A and B are shown apart, each in its own frame.
Chain A
Amino acid sequence: MVGITAFGGYVPKLRLARQAIVDAHVWADPSLAGKAKGERAMCNWDEDAVTMAVEAARACLNGDASAPGAIYFASTSAPFADRQNAGIVSTALSLPEGIASLDIASSQKAGVSALLQGIGAVRGGLYESALVVASEKRRVQAGSPGELAYGDGAAALTVGQEGVLAEFVAAQSSTVDFIDHFRGATEAYDYTWEERWIRDEGLAKIAPPCIEQALAKAGLDAGAVDHFIMPSTIGRAVAGIARKVGITKGAVADNLHGVMGASGAAHPLVMLLHVLETQAKPGQTIVLSSFGQGCDVLVLRATAALADYQSANGIVDALARRQVENNYQKFLTFNDLIRLEKGMRAENNDYKTALSVTYRKRDMLLGLVGGRCSQCGTLQFPRTDICVNPQCHAQGAQEPCSFREQPAKVLTWSADYLAYTADPPSHYGMIAFEEGGRFMTDFTDVAAGEVEVGLPVYMVFRIKSVDSRRGFVRYFWKAAPAAR
């Protein structure tokens, strides 16, 4: 039996109230007035598809020491066009360097395609297990429909043969160059065709036959489908597909529009996690569909193991970790949608990154790996030749030790209005890890007045700074309040 063996989800803590978006644009487009309900997930300034993928994958693996044979990273909003994004995720999680990695992109079905590739590879015996991560932060122009409809998020799954939670039953794909929207290689934003045409000529004609063929392969009646997962930002389009195929109305899964918005290529998997966590019962059938220049459709069946499975951090947990943002200006600022005066101090980020240093220190910078002195046991970050313990100073005695999962508390802090950050004040301070080790680090996802000495924090993978002149994103770990 091959199938999904674990999962983890991630949704940024910030949720932009759609009312705030509508309030900003309704003067120009009165029809927006009816679209002010709910909220969309919004990346903090220091989050992108890679950072969200790290957090989702981290929750999925949950300290599992058995490394997957491959990592698949799916996104249409990956920060690097030519630098394996999956490799950043892999290094951030200290996965062994002897695994395969692959970025899957260029279509809204990339997330399900990645899962399909992972299942295929494990079924074919290429790998014992595979890690599939889909993550999306779609760029939208201010005032565009996507600004209201989309939301940022990520989902990670492992595929394997042991402890299967949802068994692979059948799959069907189609490839049709239907251009509902496109984004040229040098463009920042999508160009989108008319919704009615997409719904009637695209979704309604391309998806049903693919779903029907998948069900036929599985030997299943459409009426027996318990959960039908298919994202679409077009109202009633998915209900229409279900009706056409014969899937019951009650089987159509919540697309989470009200609580986070559509997370692009990641969204089918985000919705799948939500179904697995909240609805799917052992033995139930799940149809997972995606749409983007054709379809990938998977038929899955929940196993008895699902009933006992508890994700370290699923989509339900991620949705619960929430802070409503009513300031639309922050969304514009964080997403570079406004030409804002940043001040000369922002120029401090305008330096080339010494890539040879980034590589030499990759376990430290991406994996938060420090050292443990084999003589005195002191934990320390960074790892150096000579132990930091004043009573020890042993030389060459340190073994690599990751601080990713070490609990810590705030020792000192300040909220700084002078240092440049997209989200002032810049919160930072010394954090002391409970088992030893400390360093001064940036804090993130904190509200004004929230930080105090002794506050429990945990480490999260984030953008450290961006070299926008050269298009390079620097990553490191930051401390976030521990309520997870």
Chain B
Amino acid sequence: MATGIKDKVAILGMGCSRFGERWESGAEELMVEAFTEAVGDAGIDISEIDAAWFSTHYEEINVGKGGLPLSVALRLPNIAVTRVENFCASGSEAFRGAVYAVASGACDIALALGVEKLKDTGYGGLPGGLGGTLTPQWSANASAPGSFAQLASAYRAKHGVERDELKRAIAHVSVKSHANGVKNSKAHLRREITEEDAINAPMIAEPLGLFDCCGVSDGAAAAIVTTPEIAKRLGKENIVSVKALQLSLSNGAESGHNSWDGSYFHTTRIAAKKAYDEAGIGKPREQVSMFECHDCFSITEMVTMEDLQLSPEGGAINDVMDGFYDADGQIPCQIDGGLKCFGHPIGASGIRMLYEMYLQLQGRAGERQLPKPSIGMTHNLGGSPMSNVAAVCIVGAYE
């Protein structure tokens, strides 16, 4: 009988590069920047790392395939490096690999590092991909915002929400993240906006305007994990441990079977339930102190609040407008600015979310430090509402 991951693995150190349009840096420099911080934070020597997991999504415009880009960039001591890719949830996947390696006892210390160099494409937004030899011959001519925008149409139809009401709620989602991003020196976008700015912004994919879409950023993030015992032996205090780590993937039902209504993430609901069970959280709305949600688009964040059981079904709009998820609300969300403003270098994002939860739990989040958080959660999503990878990770103080 599986016993789950709770408290088997501790975070020894973390690092995160500055996110943004890093015209001066390639993926290699970004990896070194994140790793240097992480290894310094861990207080170990590079030779103590037993194995590494490396996440990156767009290998074509980035570093290429395989684990070698990480091994070479960091001059790792000829250890195993596994490249993982699971769309925008790739970072969580790298973290999972490292955590499971430590939990299994195969490694004492493992590294997870994610990177994405997106700004070498020549245009704004994410590059399109073909998705194989069959898919481009029949799948819709969709962009990322257009894929997620469809949530809004189904959510409105299901809950009887007027377009204006929805536009204002998702505008508030972005306003809140912009306000948070101002306080983060590593964030890509650091300017406050108003709801009117968001509502009146140029249309990207109905009903999502420019400010409903997250930044397209370069960046890297790293986590070094070990067992709580080793962390203690190394003299660590305020140890943050992994409480739950769950992944759920679509199996084609949402996109091919008429049992899904298009307004929510089937996989997020499954991953969240399993994660709460694994972490022993019975009342998430009361027990989760803060969370980083995969806010690739404002509408994604809004419906995800219900999928994570934090808002009641159909109740996210009220919670958003009540400030429930604002920095001074009951469950602050995207306290670091989120994908929206910290930025979204795809392979790094899952680890970037953990970086903020780790800093907050250790009381090291500076200007944006929340009062005594005990449970932090990350929600990292890849794919589209119709077919996706949902990763939910819960971290907290190790007792």
A residues within 8 Å of B by Cβ? Answer: 343-345, 348, 351, 353-354, 357-358, 361, 364-365, 378, 380-382, 384, 388-390, 411-421, 425-426, 428-430, 432-433, 436-442, 452-454, 464-465, 474, 476
B142 touching A440 by the CB < 8 A rule? yes
Whether A439 contacts B205 in the complex (CB less than 8 A), given A357-B137, A414-B153, A429-B153, comes out as: no
B386 adjacent to chain A (CB < 8 Å): yes
B122 adjacent to chain A (CB < 8 Å): yes
A419 CA to B136 CA, complexed, in Å: 13
Partner of A412, one of B151, B203, B257: B151
Query: What is the interface of chain A mostly: helix, strand, loop, or mixed?
Result: mixed
When distances are taken between beta carbons in the complex, the residues of chain B under 8 Å from A452 are 153
When distances are taken between beta carbons in the complex, the residues of chain B under 8 Å from A348 are 128, 130
7 additional contacts (CB under 8 A) given A343-B123, A453-B154: A351-B136, A412-B150, A415-B205, A426-B141, A432-B258, A438-B255, A442-B141
A42 CA to B49 CA, complexed, in Å: 66
When distances are taken between beta carbons in the complex, the residues of chain A under 8 Å from B139 are 440
B146 touching A428 by the CB < 8 A rule? yes
> What is the distance, in angstroms, from B387's C-beta to the closest C-beta of chain A?
9
When distances are taken between beta carbons in the complex, the residues of chain B under 8 Å from A354 are 133-134
In the complex, the chain A residue whose C-beta lies closest to that of B387 is A440
Partner of A425, one of B150, B206, B257: B206
B256 adjacent to chain A (CB < 8 Å): yes
A384 CA to B258 CA, complexed, in Å: 16
Partner of A364, one of B138, B203, B208, B259: B138
B150 touching A413 by the CB < 8 A rule? yes
When distances are taken between beta carbons in the complex, the residues of chain B under 8 Å from A438 are 255-258
Can you list 28 pairs linking A and B with CB atoms under 8 Å apart?
A348-B128, A365-B138, A380-B256, A389-B257, A390-B251, A411-B262, A412-B151, A412-B153, A412-B262, A413-B153, A414-B206, A416-B141, A416-B204, A417-B205, A418-B125, A418-B145, A420-B141, A425-B203, A425-B205, A429-B150, A438-B257, A438-B258, A440-B142, A440-B386, A442-B140, A453-B153, A453-B157, A454-B157
B269 adjacent to chain A (CB < 8 Å): no
B261 adjacent to chain A (CB < 8 Å): yes
When distances are taken between beta carbons in the complex, the residues of chain A under 8 Å from B142 are 416, 419, 426, 428, 440
Partner of B258, one of A358, A412, A436, A474: A436
B146 touching A419 by the CB < 8 A rule? yes
A364 CA to B135 CA, complexed, in Å: 12
Q: Which of B142, B256, B261, B262 has the most CB of A within 10 A?
A: B256
B206 touching A411 by the CB < 8 A rule? no
When distances are taken between beta carbons in the complex, the residues of chain B under 8 Å from A415 are 205-206
When distances are taken between beta carbons in the complex, the residues of chain B under 8 Å from A351 are 130, 136
Q: Which of A345, A416, A420, A433 has the most CB of B within 10 A?
A: A416
Whether A388 contacts B261 in the complex (CB less than 8 A), given A415-B206, A416-B145, comes out as: no
A437 CA to B252 CA, complexed, in Å: 11
Partner of A440, one of B143, B151, B255, B257: B255
B79 adjacent to chain A (CB < 8 Å): no
In the complex, the chain A residue whose C-beta lies closest to that of B145 is A418
A437 touching B256 by the CB < 8 A rule? yes
B361 adjacent to chain A (CB < 8 Å): no
In the complex, the chain B residue whose C-beta lies closest to that of A390 is B253
**For residues 179 through 213 of chain B, which have their beta carbon under 8 Å from a beta carbon of chain A?**
203-206, 208
B150 touching A474 by the CB < 8 A rule? no
In the complex, the chain B residue whose C-beta lies closest to that of A349 is B136
B149 adjacent to chain A (CB < 8 Å): yes
In the complex, the chain B residue whose C-beta lies closest to that of A355 is B133
When distances are taken between beta carbons in the complex, the residues of chain B under 8 Å from A436 are 258
Partner of B150, one of A384, A414, A420, A439: A414
A416 CA to B384 CA, complexed, in Å: 15
Whether A430 contacts B262 in the complex (CB less than 8 A), given A345-B123, A390-B253, comes out as: yes
Contact pattern, B 110-144, Cβ under 8 Å of A = 1, otherwise 0 = 00000000000111010010100110111111110
In the complex, the chain B residue whose C-beta lies closest to that of A449 is B206
A421 touching B130 by the CB < 8 A rule? no
A419 touching B257 by the CB < 8 A rule? no
A278 CA to B264 CA, complexed, in Å: 51
> What is the distance, in angstroms, from B210's C-beta to the closest C-beta of chain A?
10
